[in-house]
Amino acid sequence: MSGKPADQGFDVGGHTDGHGTRLAGRAALVTGAGSAGGFLGTGAATAILLAAQGATVGILDIDAERAEHTRGRIENDGGRAFALAADITDEMAARDAVDDFAARAGRLDSVVNNAGISGEGALARTTRAGWDRVFALNVTAAMQVSRAAHPHLVRVGGGSVVNISSIAALRGFGSGAYGASKGALQSMSVDLAYSWGRDNVRVNCLVPGHLHTPIGDHGGEEGRQLRRAANLLGVEGTAWDLAWAVLFLASAESRWITGTVIPVDAGTTTATVLGMLPRLADRPGGTDRQDETSCRP
């Protein structure tokens, strides 16, 4: 079995075919892009989609085997990719990995800071060491990779940095260090956009919602039903939904967009809890439906 979710459509792109030429002749580096099997996380899906759109892709992951798995999938699809294994929480290792990819690809046009870990949960049970581990990867590593990439982006006349945050930075989840680190990443994105704008380096931040990915696959089928019910569209998001947003921000189509923090969450963060209660009740296995007017603020 491939491990591919039953509701996934195209092998590349998910709900629509991901092949094209929007990034032809460009090179993109994606952190945390390793994979195992067919159930893809956001980093792997992003790397695969960017390659399918013509980019030479660097797959940067701490796990060499996972990086190689994504590389193999890209090359089997006709794309060009390099697998890079490095611990990007180490500043020299991050810089060397970025320089190595830029040299092998011949250029660097886009960076996607996707790598991240979730941590120990609520703040009350988060250890100082656990807090530091989360910030080291989710924030500091993204800074180190971006800073190492900056001269390469300038060399080609400008480029794009896309940072991947989370709605845990915008809404309470009891996620402790994770939500705090993703909030810091959003703030850093805006500041880098200011600092690097005159270099024609655009920096934007995407805020994914409750996606059906390996890191977000909790609660079995009931969890999937909840994720569908908790957003305005009633549709479950996958790693491909985030990857398509990254593709837009990495392409020339978004040349006048920088310093933005964009939710990719099917409207989850636009609704109040009271407003969503009737829809949660409507899901299979939910409680009896309530009159929506009784839940309006």
Catalytic residues: 178
Q: How far apart (Å, rounded) are the C-alpha atoms in residues 32 and 125?
A: 26
CA 154 to chain centre: 23
Residue of 22, 45, 28, 24 whose CA lies nearest to 145: 28
Q: How far apart (Å, rounded) are the C-alpha atoms in residues 60 and 97?
A: 8
CB 17 within 8 A of CB 10: yes
Rounded alpha-carbon distances, angstroms, from residue 49 to 42, 53, 66, 88, 113: 10, 6, 17, 23, 15
| Residue 295: exposure state from Cβ atoms within 10 A (0-12, 13-18, ≥19) | middle
